[in-house]
Structures are given as structure tokens and as C-alpha cells.
Structure 1
Amino acid sequence: MKSTVEHLSPTRVRINVEVPFDELKPNFDRAYRKLAQQIRVPGFRPGKAPAKVIESRIGRAPILDEVVNEAIPTKYMEAVTSSEVRAIGQPEFADIKIEDGDVVAFSAEVDIRPDITIPSFGELSVSVDDLELTDEEVDEQLDELRARFGTLTGADRPAETGDFVSIDLAATVDGEEVADAQTSGLSYEVGSGNLIEGIDDAIVGASAGENRVFTTKLLAGDHAGKDAEVTVIVQTVKVRELPEPDDEFAQLASEFDTIDELRADLRERLTRVKKMQQGVQARDKVLDALLETTEVPLPEAVVNAEVESRKHDAVHAFDHDEARFAEFLESEGKTQEDFDADVRADAEKSVKTQLILDSIAEAENVGVNDNELTERIIYQAQRYGISPDEYVRRAQESGQLGAIFADVRRGKALATVVRQATVTDASGNAVDLEELFGRDEPVAADAPEEVAPEGESETAEGAVNK
């Protein structure tokens, strides 16, 4: 087989391939066996008719079609591998030429990952928020813990923010009842904001047995984006009484003997959370710095595919009802043109991010070991509420296992950059991110598990896909 590569642009090539017929003998053998099972030849059992007999019955053309349809994708992949073309996306085949008994020739145009000049990681400098922890934040955590052990008692007064109420709900749109919005005996914490907009203002000041009517915009269902008239009936009002924050409570709610020990533990936990938030902020800002300082020619076909995928996902949430989706956009104050522009900008950023991180992963010899891939699979399975085996099965059926591997690898590539970048807080102090991103050393395919700390995969995924 002979192949040549023509560079059409920094992001696209044409691969020209010529395959001598003697290399296609295995393809011809498979084609004859397949066709022999599909046709009936008198005097021969199914699948046993000789090649010449089959050819005399159906002609040469169907056999050549079968051979070419099987051979072209295979020979294309061989050409990509031998020429070390970094192909991305699907190829477009053209100029297919068959000279029977001599050669099969074709060309394939495909997008490629462009050559990218990556800036020195050590030259990247970002600033993150100071790590500040107040006594009030510790008190909030303690109050949340106390709330878990609180008791609800009836209140003979109008509802206030923080109370728990039992309510009935009903809604109408243009005078028509909305079945999905009907419920009774719903327990709700006033002021939590976990229900529809406007309900807290309606409930506050209402006593048991009272009903209030307000207007809100529905966010889901058949009437998403439309104004609805909602009636809420308050059945009961209860207040939550919290236990005293003393040593007795500390012993009840934790392994500590004193409230001071419990507060110290809460402070330590909050500090770790704050450090994690600093790390996430550093990751995002380092990625933004990479995007700003790196020139990347974008493969048009890949960007267009990403745009179409994002549009499909957006409309899918409305059961592909274009009219409902248009109403939703209008309710958000957006036009279709605004949406299209936003989608394309996000798609371009996503593709650029992936190309940069893939280039870094290749340059830094970043690999993914079995433990890291398994961790990602388990995490994703938990997100979707299914078993890891079921998640893998679905990923295999949809051809997404490669994408999972790529996401983990890109996350590790980004961690490599963050470890070498200069990260300071708002006060000018250096921020130590070793706990989140590991030591400043090369990440190899057989790297120990601690190189990719727990949580890094999710953090990286957010960066790569945002």
C-alpha cells in the first residue's frame, strides 16, 4: 500500500491511498464467504458455492463493492497510523477508483490536531482569593449540625422565614389547571428557595388554614416559560427548636467530648474546603491563562460537530419541541441569534481546551493507569445512580470509553500545568496546591495513585468540558 499526505490547512489534510489488489485477497475471501451465505446456488449447500460460481451468478460488481466497502476504512486507518497523522473527527472519502485486478485508490480529507506552541508553564501566573475563615462560618456549620438534631413543634402564629410548613399547591395557566403542579401535604422550609420563585414571599405571614395566590414563571413541564397563577394553602406551621451547643450536644452529635473540640474539628474541615476551593479557582484561572496566551487554529468540522451536539442537547430538554424552546429563550431574554452565538463561543472554547490539553499530555508523556480510569468510572456511575458495570456497558455501546480516558488524561495534563504555574493569593502569598495536585514531578502512565489525588478527575472534567 502507498499513501501520501497533503496539508490543506493547519487543521486539515488529504490522505491519498493506493492499495494493490494482491493486498486485498483476505477481503475478497471474506466477501465471497459472506455472499455465499446470502445466495442460493443449485447443487451447493449454503455457504459452500465456489467463488467463480458465485461471481458467475451475481457478477463482479457486487463483489468489488463488498471488498471496497470493507477495505477503505481499514486501509485509511493504516495510512493514518503509518503517516502519524493526528486525525480527529470523521474522514470524508472521495475520488474512489477501482482498476479491477490492479489497484484500488481513494482519498480522504480529515481534520487533524494542529501543531501548538505551548507557553512555558512556569511563566503562567495567577491570583486566587485569600483563604479566610470567620467565626461566623464556623457557627453556621455548627447550626447546620444542630438542625439535624432539632425537633419540630407546632407554632400558633403566622409563618416566618425558617419555619417548616405543610402546604397544598395548585397552578393554572390561562385558566387551565396544570396537572404537574398539583400537590398536597408538601413539607417545605420557608426561605430555603427550593421551590418555585415567589412562594416564600407568599407564605411568610400566612397562618395555618390560609391560602395565598401569586404569579410565577414555570421552569419545566409542558408549560415551561409561561406565567402561572399559583395557589398555596398553608396547612400547618411548625418551628424547629435546636439543641443547646454544649458538651452534651457534642457527645450526641460527634465523637468529641466537648463543644470546643467539635468547633475545632469544624474549623479544620472548613479550612480544607477553603483550600479545595482555592485549588479549583487556581485550576480555572491557569486554564484561562493557557487559553489566552496560546494560539490554536480550530478545525472547523470539529467545532461544527460540537455546536450541533450542544444544540441537540439544549432542545432535547424540551422533547425537541422548537416552539417550546423558542418560548424558553424569550423568557430568558435571548433571541435565537444570541443562543447560536453563545453556543458557538462555548464550542470553540471547549475544542480549543481539548486541543491544548491533548498537546500538553503528549509533550509531557502523561498516561492514565487502570486505577485512575476505574476511579472516574465509579464516580460517573455514582452521579448517574447506576452500577459501574452498567455505566461501562452504556459507555461501550455509545462509543464513549475513549472519551472517558481522554478526559482523565486531560485532567492530569492540566494538573501538570497548575503544579508548575505561579499561584498567589490576593495578599501576595504563595499558595501551596500540593495537597490537591500532587508534587511537581512528571506524571507517567504508571504513576502511583497519589499523583492524581481524590477529586482531581472531577475537577479536571469541569475544566475540560466547561
Structure 2
Amino acid sequence: MTAKWEKTEANVGVLEVEVASERFASALDAAFKKVVKTVTIPGFRKGKVPRKIFEAKFGIEALYQDAVDILLPQAYQEAVEESGIEPVDQPSVDVVQLETGKPFVFKATVTVKPEVQLGEYKGLEIQDKSFEVTDETISEEIEQVLKSHAQIEVVEDGEVQNGDTVSIDFRGTVDGEAFEGGEAENFQLEIGSGTFIGGFEDQLIGMKPGEERDIEVTFPSDYHVKSLQGAVATFHVKLHDIKRKVLRELNDEFVQEISDFETVEEYRNDLKARLEERAKQDHERYIEDEVVTKATENATIDLPKVMVDHEIDHQINSFAQQLQMQQIPFDAYLEFTGTTMDELRDQFREAAEKSVRVALVLEAITSAENVDVTDEEVDAELQKVADSSGLDLDRVRQLMSVRDPNLSSFRNDLRNRKTIQLLVENSKLA
């Protein structure tokens, strides 16, 4: 077999492949063995029709398509390996020669992984950012803890305040006409959560249980329901009740209830240590993100559209799985938000382009710097997984191999992490 690769565009080329006539003849034999099982000719049992009788009745050409289906995928893969190209999409194939006794010839138009022209990636100057844990940081964290353990009380005699949860009936109209989704009873709404259109929640502040009020709001120009974009709506609202969070007091008793510590001081010291560790990790991630972003911006890549489209597919599939975990059908999400699939794909496009660019640049730097991972490094990382999960090392390896045979993806992740660490070690903080 011979293969010739010729680039026709930036990331597209034609792979011309010639397969020896003997291999095509073998493919025809295999095609006949497959087809003859389904052929019925009077005087012969199914599957026992002689080759000459079959060809006399149907012609050798009747076997061509099955022979091509058998031979082409293998021949194409061999040609790809021989040519050293890296396809990123299924090829478009044209058969050039298909004749008994002659070589089988085809041309495959292939989109390949783009070449990356690396720019500066060592010695990058990164603007440092403070992740210091202050007394204010600790106080804010404690406030969140207190809020998460707050007691809920019904406000019998009082007015709606920011942060309250209210139960309301509402009915919305635009130009006196009701619209879909604009009506509900006993709806639970947290004031200040931003759940409703801007201005709606603010106008509930000051209402008392049993009170009714008309509220006027303007839908944003980019609202997900096109018919309501920019429309002025009036909502008639009736307030049923008010629930308010009452924060607990931070004292030793409270600390003993929510933790293994005895005193507020012990709890604060532990919280500070945990926040400082988190801040350290956040700082490390910030530096990593910055060096990768700068290295990517300094590189030149002619990005194939198909690679971006594949990444969009991947991200949308992940998004759909997240919705499913929240028991929200994907189709229902599109309908509720008034979003078409094309619009959703456009929303993911920028992130997908960045993701593909980053992956290509990291791969190019990894190759340029000869970064690799050893079996010992792989075992060490697997051991970390085992330690954190409570499983033994062999079981972790077995479970990961189900989805990642030979741990190739796992190795690639480690390789990328080493490459990013190389960038960080060679960067400068300003």
C-alpha cells in the first residue's frame, strides 16, 4: 500500500491511497462470504451458492460496495499512520479506481490538527493578585455559617425587608393582556435574590401580610422570551406571609453544635487556617491560569471550525448532564428559556474556542520541552486518589481503566499539569 499526503489549505489536505490488487481481491472474498449468506438461488441452499454462479447472476460489481466497506477503514488508518497526519474529523472519501484485478485507489479529504506557532511562553510577566486572608474575610465566612444555620421565623406583625422570604400570589399583564408564565399562587420568593425581573423584588419591600399592590416593571431587551423583550408589565401582587432568618449568636455553645471544637477561639483559628490554605490554592490557580492565557495569546493558530464544533458538542453534552442531575429535561430548558440550539451553540462558542486553543498550545509546549510522565509519577498520582477514596491502588487502577484504557487520558492530564508547572516556574510576578 502507498499513501501520498498533499496539503491543499491551512488545515486540510488530500490523502491519496493505493491498495494492492491482492488486498482488494481478499476484500472481495470476504464480501462474498458475507453476502452469500443472504442470497437465494433456486437449486442451492442459502449460503451454499458457488462464487461463479453468484457472479454470473449478479456480476462481480455486486460485491464492490461490501468489499470497500471492509477494506477502506483499515487502509485509511494505515495511510494516516504512514503519513504521520492527525485527523480531527471524519474524512470525505472519493473512490478513484475500483476494478477487479487492479489496485484499489481512493482519495480522502482530511481536516488535520493545526500547526501551532508558539510565541513567548517562558519568562512571562504575571501581574500578581492578593489572596490575603483578613479579619474581614474571616468575619464574612462566619456570617455565611451563621446564615446557613439561621432559624426561620414567621413575621406576624411587620413589613417585608431585604433578605426575607415571602409567599405571594401574582398575575402579570402587558397592555392589559395576561402572558404565559406571568401568574402563580403561593410563590416563595427571597427578596434580594434576583430571581425576578429587576425592580420587582424591591417594590415588595414595605408590604405587610394580606396587602395587595400593583408593581410595574420593564422586561430587559435581551429577555429570553422574545415577545416580552423591552415590554412594560404590571403585576398585581398579594402578600400572604413573611419568613425571616434569625441569626444565631456566635458563642461556644453554637461552635460545639456545628463543629468538633469547644470554643469560639478554637473555631476561628481553624477557620483561618482553612481559609489560608484555600487562598493559597486560589493564588496558585490564578497564576496557572494567567501563564496559560498569556502563552495561548502569544501563539498563532489557524483553528479548524470542526475542532471548535466538536468541543461545543462536548460542552453542551456536559451542560445537559448537569441539567439532568437537577431533574430538568434539556428540551424543557430550551423551551423555557426561549433558546434555539443554534443560539445555545453560539453561547458556548467563545469558551469552546478558548478551550481548544489552550489544549493545542499546551500540547505544543509539551512537545517543544519534551515533557513526559514516568510510570512512577502515574503510580504516585493514583496512590493519592486511592488514599482520598479509601480504596487500594489496584482497585483504583481497575476502575479508572474502564473509562480510560491504558490510562492515556490520565497520563495526558499529568503531562499538562507538568507543562503548566514549567510555565509557572519560568514566569515572573510583577
Distance, in Å, in 2 between the alignment partners of 1:364 and 1:220 is 47
Query: Is 1:141 the counterpart of 2:141 in the alignment?
Result: yes
Cα shift at 1:79: 0.6
Q: Which structure 1 residue ranges, 5 or more long, are not aligned?
A: 330-338, 376-391, 429-466
The TM-score, its normalising length taken from structure 1, stands at 0.70
Query: Is 1:283 the counterpart of 2:284 in the alignment?
Result: no
In the other structure, the counterpart of 1:30 is 30
In the other structure, the counterpart of 1:208 is 209
Query: Is 1:242 the counterpart of 2:274 in the alignment?
Result: no
Distance, in Å, in 2 between the alignment partners of 1:196 and 1:132 is 36
Map 1:396-415 → 2, pairs under 5 A = 411-415=413-417
Distance, in Å, in 2 between the alignment partners of 1:141 and 1:148 is 11
Map 1:70-85 → 2, pairs under 5 A = 70-85=70-85
Cα shift at 1:159: 0.6
Secondary structure at the aligned position of 1:74 is classed as: helix
Bigger shift: residues 268-277 or 69-78:
268-277
Cα shift at 1:298: 2.9
Map 1:10-29 → 2, pairs under 5 A = 10-29=10-29
- Cα deviation per residue 1:169-227 (whole Å; 9 max; x = unaligned)? 33345544445443333333322224443332121111111233232438556867464
Query: Contact (CA 8 Å) 2:160, 2:204: kept in 1 or not?
Result: yes
Secondary structure at the aligned position of 2:160 is classed as: coil
Q: Which structure 2 residue ranges, 5 or more long, are not aligned?
A: 320-329, 386-400
In the other structure, the counterpart of 1:298 is 303
Query: 1:50 is matched by which residue type in structure 2?
Result: P
Cα shift at 1:250: 0.7
Query: Is 1:171 the counterpart of 2:172 in the alignment?
Result: yes
Cα shift at 1:27: 2.2
**Structure 1 pair 18–147 and aligned structure 2 pair: CA distance change class (3 A):** same
Bigger shift: residues 351-360 or 69-78:
351-360
**Structure 1 pair 280–233 and aligned structure 2 pair: CA distance change class (3 A):** farther
**Structure 1 pair 425–300 and aligned structure 2 pair: CA distance change class (3 A):** closer
In the other structure, the counterpart of 1:439 is none
Distance, in Å, in 2 between the alignment partners of 1:76 and 1:33 is 23
Distance, in Å, in 2 between the alignment partners of 1:425 and 1:18 is 50
In the other structure, the counterpart of 1:44 is 44
Distance, in Å, in 1 between the alignment partners of 2:194 and 2:426 is 36
Query: 2:189 is matched by which residue type in structure 1?
Result: Y
Query: For 2:372, which of 359, 365, 380 is the aligned residue?
Result: 365
Query: 2:216 is matched by which residue type in structure 1?
Result: F
Query: 2:419 is matched by which residue type in structure 1?
Result: V
Distance, in Å, in 1 between the alignment partners of 2:291 and 2:246 is 46
Secondary structure at the aligned position of 1:13 is classed as: strand
- Cα deviation per residue 1:16-46 (whole Å; 9 max; x = unaligned)? 1111121134422331133223331112232
Query: For 1:421, which of 420, 423, 429 is the aligned residue?
Result: 423
Cα shift at 1:325: 5.2
In the other structure, the counterpart of 1:230 is 235
Query: 2:199 is matched by which residue type in structure 1?
Result: G
**Structure 1 pair 312–239 and aligned structure 2 pair: CA distance change class (3 A):** closer
In the other structure, the counterpart of 1:105 is 105
Query: Contact (CA 8 Å) 2:89, 2:111: kept in 1 or not?
Result: yes
Secondary structure at the aligned position of 2:158 is classed as: coil
Query: Contact (CA 8 Å) 1:360, 1:413: kept in 2 or not?
Result: no
Cα shift at 1:259: 0.8
Q: Which protein is bigger by CA-based radius of gyration?
A: 2
Query: 1:20 is matched by which residue type in structure 2?
Result: A
Cα shift at 1:311: 11
- Cα deviation per residue 1:71-121 (whole Å; 9 max; x = unaligned)? 222211111012222222221223521232121101112122244354575
**Structure 1 pair 38–220 and aligned structure 2 pair: CA distance change class (3 A):** farther
Secondary structure at the aligned position of 1:48 is classed as: coil
Cα shift at 1:64: 1.2
- Cα deviation per residue 1:48-88 (whole Å; 9 max; x = unaligned)? 32222222222222211221233222211111012222222
Cα shift at 1:320: 8.1
Query: Is 1:356 the counterpart of 2:361 in the alignment?
Result: yes
Aligned length: 392
Query: 2:253 is matched by which residue type in structure 1?
Result: E
Query: 2:371 is matched by which residue type in structure 1?
Result: E
In the other structure, the counterpart of 2:276 is 271
Cα shift at 1:344: 6.7
Query: Contact (CA 8 Å) 2:173, 2:235: kept in 1 or not?
Result: yes
**Structure 1 pair 275–319 and aligned structure 2 pair: CA distance change class (3 A):** closer
- Cα deviation per residue 1:334-385 (whole Å; 9 max; x = unaligned)? xxxxx97x9776655443323223334554235996987xx8xxxxxxxxxx
Query: Contact (CA 8 Å) 2:256, 2:263: kept in 1 or not?
Result: yes
Distance, in Å, in 1 between the alignment partners of 2:96 and 2:334 is 38
Distance, in Å, in 2 between the alignment partners of 1:238 and 1:320 is 33
Query: Contact (CA 8 Å) 1:129, 1:426: kept in 2 or not?
Result: no
Query: Contact (CA 8 Å) 2:224, 2:339: kept in 1 or not?
Result: no
Distance, in Å, in 2 between the alignment partners of 1:49 and 1:233 is 83
Map 1:180-195 → 2, pairs under 5 A = 180-195=181-196
Distance, in Å, in 1 between the alignment partners of 2:428 and 2:211 is 51
Query: Contact (CA 8 Å) 1:130, 1:426: kept in 2 or not?
Result: no
In the other structure, the counterpart of 2:198 is 197
Give the aligned CA root-mean-square deviation in angstroms: 4.2
